[in-house]
Chains A and B, each alone.
Chain A
Amino acid sequence: MKKILKWIAIGVVCLIVVGFIAFLYLIPPFDMLPREAFSQPHAAAVASSLDKINDPVERALAKRGQYIMSISDCNGCHTPQGDQGPNWDEYLAGGAKFEMIKPGTAHSRNLTPDKQTGLTRRTDEEVKRVLRSGVFHDGRIFEPTFMPWPAFTNMTEEDRHALVTYLRHIKPIKHDVPEWSPNSSAPLNSFYPYDYAEHEKKK
Chain B
Amino acid sequence: MKFFSRGMVLFFAGTCWIGLGNYLLSSPADPNDAAQASLGKTIFDARCSPCHGISGKGDGAASALLNPRPRNFTSGMFKFRSTESGSLPTDDDLMTTVKNGLYGTAMSDWAPFITGDSLKAVVNYMKTFSARFQNEKPHPVHISSQIPSSAASIVAGKKVYAKLQCANCHGTDGAGAGVIAKDFKDNWDFETNAVNLIEPWTFRGGSSARDIYLRFRTGVDGTPMPSYAGTVSEKEMWDLANYVVSIGRKPVWKMNENEIREFYAKLDAQAKADPVERGKYLVRTIGCASCHSTYTDDLRLVEGTQLSGGLTFDLYPFGKYVARNLTSDMETGLGNWTDQEIKRAFTQGISRDGRKFLPFPMAWPAYASMKEDDQNAIVTYLRTVPAVHHKIPDPEKPNIFSYLWGKFRMLILKERIPSPAYPMKEATEQQPVSQISPSATKNFAARADREKEARP
Residue positions of A touching B, CB distance < 8 A = 21, 24-25, 27, 30-31, 35, 38-39, 41-43, 46, 56-57, 60-61, 64, 67-68, 70-73, 75-76, 83, 85, 100-104, 129, 132-135, 139-145, 148-159, 161-162, 182-183, 186-198, 200
Contact = CB atoms under 8 A, between A and B. Distances in A.
Contact of B418 (A134, A142, A154, A189): A189
A101 B358 CA distance: 28
A150 B108 contact: no
Nearest to B251: A158
Question: Chain B contact residues: over half helix, strand or loop, or mixed?
Answer: loop
Given A39-B365, A132-B106, A154 B281 contact: yes
Interface in B331-379: 347-350, 356, 358-361, 363-371, 374
Contacts of B369: 39, 42-43, 46, 70-71
Contact of B285 (A30, A72, A157, A161): A72
Contacts of B315: 194
Contact of A27 (B264, B356, B365, B407): B407
Across chains A and B, which 10 residue pairs bring their CB atoms closest together, nearest first?
A151-B287, A133-B108, A191-B421, A39-B368, A73-B363, A139-B113, A150-B65, A38-B365, A188-B418, A154-B284
A145 B358 CA distance: 21
Interface of B: 46-47, 50, 61-67, 101, 103-109, 112-114, 201-202, 251-253, 255-257, 260-261, 264, 281-282, 284-287, 289-290, 299, 313, 315-316, 347-350, 356, 358-361, 363-371, 374, 400, 403-404, 407-408, 410-412, 414-422, 424, 426-427, 430-435
A70 B370 CA distance: 8
A201 B258 CA distance: 50
Contact of A38 (B201, B284, B359): B359
A104 B427 CA distance: 11
A43 B368 contact: yes
Nearest to A186: B418
B426 A102 contact: yes
Of B50, B257, B299, B420, most buried by chain A (CB within 10 Å of CB) is: B50
A91 to B, nearest CB: 13
B402 to A, nearest CB: 12
A76 B281 contact: no
Nearest to B107: A133
Contact of B410 (A25, A72, A196): A196
7 contacts: A71-B366, A104-B434, A132-B106, A139-B112, A148-B287, A153-B66, A191-B313
A151 B416 contact: no
Given A27-B411, A60-B264, A154-B281, 20 more contacts: A38-B349, A39-B364, A39-B366, A61-B260, A68-B285, A71-B286, A71-B366, A71-B369, A76-B360, A103-B427, A104-B434, A129-B109, A139-B114, A141-B46, A151-B286, A151-B287, A154-B66, A161-B252, A194-B316, A195-B416
Contacts of A64: 264
Contact of B411 (A24, A104, A143, A158): A24
B433 A103 contact: yes
A162 B252 contact: yes
Nearest to B287: A151
A145 to B, nearest CB: 6
Contacts of A140: 433-435
Contact of A188 (B347, B400, B420): B420
Contacts of A100: 422, 424
Contacts of A182: 432, 434-435
Contacts of B370: 71
Nearest to B368: A39
Contacts of B424: 100-101, 188-189
Nearest to A25: B404
B251 A24 contact: no
A152 B66 CA distance: 9
B62 A150 contact: yes
A67 B366 CA distance: 10
Contacts of B415: 197
A129 B366 contact: no
A143 B114 CA distance: 20
B430 A102 contact: yes
Of B252, B348, B412, most buried by chain A (CB within 10 Å of CB) is: B252
B422 A189 contact: yes
